[in-house]
Chain A
Amino acid sequence: MLIIKNLKASIGGKSILKGITLEVKPGEIHAIMGPNGSGKSTLAAVLAGREFVEVNEGTVLYQGKNLLGMAAEDRAKEGIFLGFQYPIEIPGVSMVNFMKTAVNEHRKHKGLDPLSASDFLKMMREKKEMVEIDSKLANRSVNEGFSGGEKKKNEIFQMAMLEPSLAILDETDSGLDIDALRVVANGVNKLKRSDNSFIVITHYQRLLDYIVPDVVHVLYDGRIVKTAGKELALELEEKGYDWIKREVENNVIA
């Protein structure tokens, strides 16, 4: 699904990612954890195609294609979905219009006809039920006036609508109460299939109580410093990030 090799990236000349290598196979859920400032969100931004991040070295293959050469919207249509840490408010643009445009762009890309209005509304309804979001949200402007939790739920709803092959959730759990967290996690679990993959970026172990990862990576200072199974998350919860930091520093000395 996704093969990242020695990825180095910088923002405004400051090096952030210092050589990331990572492979995600279909059907897998990967968790990327790490302290603040370790480069987690930058990695998500590179994968989604944000222009302010400069890729200096390395390759990213997505379903066998060179991802780095593609425009953001083409990546999206190829099946990459980014759940934003801070979803953007777009006043005046209704959720219906926004999603209809996005879904039909995806369909066009796959050579399908646009959905009729009634089919589209039916799809909206189904997906809303599936991810348990309030139907009223869909009638408002994109994210405008939404609470933090509503915005995150809205991200999951969009993910359900667009059915991505690879979803990257950038700290989708931050700032959520336990109910919202459950809605987000259920959404992911319902959408998980054997042919799609998830990268869940998170600071806390909490979300991983609900979404069980196959692999856990720890990102520190722009590098993946530890990779293991789901038990790593628990160990981190117990010992904190200082443990990793010490280990990394000791390794450097050794």
Chain B
Amino acid sequence: MNGKSEITEKYLALFKENIDRISAISSPYINSFREAAYEKFSELGIPTKKNEEYKYTNLNIFFDHDYKNYFIPEEADFVKAEEFRCDVTDLDTHGIVLLNGFYPTINEKLRQLPSGVWIGSLNEAAAKFPALLEKHYGKYAKSETDGLIHLNTAMASDGVFVYVPEGVTLSKPVQVVNLVQSDEDMFNQHRNLIIVEKNAEFSIIICDHTLSPKKFLTNAVTEVFVGENAHFDLIRVQNEHNAACKITHTFIHQEKNSVASSNNMTLHGGLIRNSTYHYLGGEGAESNSYGLFLADKWQHVDNFVNVDHAFPKCTSNQLFKGVLDDMSTGAFNGRILVRPDAQGTLAYQKNNNILLTDDAKMDTKPQLEIYADDVKCSHGATIGQLDGEALFYLQSRGINKREARLMLMFGFAHEVIQNIKIEALRERMDNLVMQRLKGELSRCASCMVKCG
């Protein structure tokens, strides 16, 4: 690429102007990554549609905008955030609220649960657990193609930290509520680090909400280490308003015989891009990557998945589905890479999409890249409508057409939802999706922002 785009220059300048302020509130270890990340971002820039990984997503409309840049948290903001209540009633979790990417100042910044699990602020953890940070921070979020990951490393200073020591099973999930609230248009970045040691079990729910009707841009990176024989579950529920852009990059590094799942449930948002990277870094590991989105109006949802089979005898599954209404657009880009010598690999990938209107558009790009021979890999992708045969089958049992369509659409979505292991959340998702499909739920009803 010759010459950097204007937009990239803008964010480079942003770094130069603010790096001192950011560094002042961050721990030295996190700061030690910033210069190199800045250089890498400078080389790669803000991704454009020329980048194969962003072929179907135009980020410019959100990046080419003047935001208030949220670098330093203010006490008063957190007081407002306290009003937020999770509406999944039966969900029993350890709660954490992040406001604009920062851990609340009013709480204890790092706490240990009775089971020995540590949860709290990443910035705080960097001071308290330097050895853990040194071992894991910045070790998994690597990319030679996506500048946004480096932009995050260069400028983010806080986020959630979780440490699950060896052999510990946390029966209750941790729930992180990401709130974005500001009276001005705002850009924020945060960084999460989750360490699940050998033989441990842990699940986390991350809910994304917006609390004020402004234009928001969030660029978040999450690094996850899943130790040998450990189990890890991530469920992301995204429910932001139409003027919000949410970009998430999740890197899940798995050791031998571990099992990890990621589930992206996208209910609402202006522009959503979820990149999930699964690295199967030991024999016998299993990874599952799921995603469901329901898009309408002018929403755009893009799921990018990269599954890297680096060791033999690993298994991976991908199931991503989309329902597109109105003028919405969607993209799926899923890659399975089987490295040489990763023999005995089983890898599956499925992407199905339903277009409900003539103005909706879906682009999908499933990919297999295979360099070992003793493998079983397959993928399938469809873009279409509800199955006419199935529709008739239901009708022939006396179910009217409208109801039959609903059932099929619900069944379509439920195939993804059923992979959520936490029952209260699974039921809540089923309900939300059903209501949404029936049109009983006004499209914005589950959104906190009453923008009318």
CA distance A98 to B395 in the complex (A): 11
B408 engages A90 (CB within 8 Å): yes
B393 engages A105 (CB within 8 Å): no
Q: A76 to chain B: which residues have CB within 8 Å? A: 395-399
Assess A91 versus B398: contact at CB under 8 Å? Given A50-B392, A97-B407, A105-B403: no
Which candidate, A34-42, A81-89, A184-192, A215-223, is the interface stretch facing chain B? A81-89
**Which of B393, B403, B412 has a CB less than 8 Å from the CB of A101?**
B403
B396 engages A93 (CB within 8 Å): no
| Proximity string of chain B (386-397) to chain A, C-beta cutoff 8 Å, 1 when within and 0 when not | 010110111111
B411 engages A141 (CB within 8 Å): yes
**Which of A48, A88, A91, A105 has a CB less than 8 Å from the CB of B399?**
A105
Asked if A137 is an interface residue, CB under 8 A from chain B, the answer is: no
CA distance A75 to B404 in the complex (A): 15
Assess A82 versus B411: contact at CB under 8 Å? Given A73-B401, A105-B403: no
Interface of B is mostly: helix
A72 engages B396 (CB within 8 Å): yes
Which candidate, B32-40, B89-97, B229-237, B413-421, is the interface stretch facing chain A? B413-421
B398 engages A92 (CB within 8 Å): no
Asked if A11 is an interface residue, CB under 8 A from chain B, the answer is: no
A93 engages B414 (CB within 8 Å): yes
Q: Which residue of A lies closest to B401 (CB)?
A: A73
Asked if A49 is an interface residue, CB under 8 A from chain B, the answer is: yes
Q: Which residue of B lies closest to A102 (CB)?
A: B397
A73 engages B399 (CB within 8 Å): yes
Asked if B435 is an interface residue, CB under 8 A from chain A, the answer is: no
CA distance A92 to B323 in the complex (A): 15
Q: Which residue of B lies closest to A105 (CB)?
A: B398
Q: How far is the CB of B398 from chain A (nearest CB, A)?
A: 4
Asked if A162 is an interface residue, CB under 8 A from chain B, the answer is: yes
Q: B399 to chain A: which residues have CB within 8 Å? A: 73, 76, 101-102, 105
* Number of residues of chain B lying within 8 A (CB) of chain A: 24
Q: How far is the CB of A218 from chain B (nearest CB, A)?
A: 26
Q: B410 to chain A: which residues have CB within 8 Å? A: 92-93
A88 engages B393 (CB within 8 Å): yes
B398 engages A87 (CB within 8 Å): no
Chain A's interface size range is 20 to 34
Interface centre among B390, B393, B403, B418 (most CB of A within 10 A): B393
Asked if B115 is an interface residue, CB under 8 A from chain A, the answer is: no
Q: A77 to chain B: which residues have CB within 8 Å? A: 398
Assess A82 versus B396: contact at CB under 8 Å? Given A88-B389, A88-B390: yes
A91 engages B415 (CB within 8 Å): yes
A105 engages B411 (CB within 8 Å): no
Interface centre among B393, B396, B403, B414 (most CB of A within 10 A): B396
B414 engages A92 (CB within 8 Å): yes
Q: How far is the CB of A127 from chain B (nearest CB, A)?
A: 14
CA distance A84 to B412 in the complex (A): 22
Q: A10 to chain B: which residues have CB within 8 Å? A: none
Q: Which residue of B lies closest to A75 (CB)?
A: B396
B411 engages A109 (CB within 8 Å): no
Asked if B400 is an interface residue, CB under 8 A from chain A, the answer is: yes
B390 engages A90 (CB within 8 Å): yes
CA distance A219 to B407 in the complex (A): 37
A102 engages B398 (CB within 8 Å): yes
Asked if A196 is an interface residue, CB under 8 A from chain B, the answer is: no
Asked if A165 is an interface residue, CB under 8 A from chain B, the answer is: no
Q: B400 to chain A: which residues have CB within 8 Å? A: 73, 105
Asked if A106 is an interface residue, CB under 8 A from chain B, the answer is: yes
Q: Which residue of B lies closest to A101 (CB)?
A: B399
Q: A87 to chain B: which residues have CB within 8 Å? A: 393
A98 engages B407 (CB within 8 Å): yes
Asked if A158 is an interface residue, CB under 8 A from chain B, the answer is: yes
Asked if A123 is an interface residue, CB under 8 A from chain B, the answer is: no
CA distance A92 to B407 in the complex (A): 9
CA distance A77 to B414 in the complex (A): 27
A90 engages B414 (CB within 8 Å): no
The 10 closest A-B pairs by CB, nearest first: A92-B411, A93-B411, A76-B398, A92-B414, A102-B397, A88-B393, A92-B415, A72-B395, A73-B395, A77-B398
Residues of B within 8 A of A (CB): 387, 389-390, 392-401, 403-404, 407-408, 410-415, 418
Complex A-B: 19 CB contacts under 8 Å: A48-B396, A51-B392, A71-B395, A72-B396, A73-B396, A73-B397, A73-B400, A73-B404, A76-B396, A82-B396, A90-B387, A90-B393, A90-B408, A91-B411, A92-B415, A97-B407, A98-B397, A105-B400, A141-B411
Beyond the given A82-B396, A87-B393, A88-B392, could you list 10 further A-B residue pairs with CB under 8 A, ordered by the A residue number? A71-B401, A76-B395, A76-B398, A81-B396, A93-B408, A98-B407, A105-B398, A105-B400, A141-B411, A162-B398
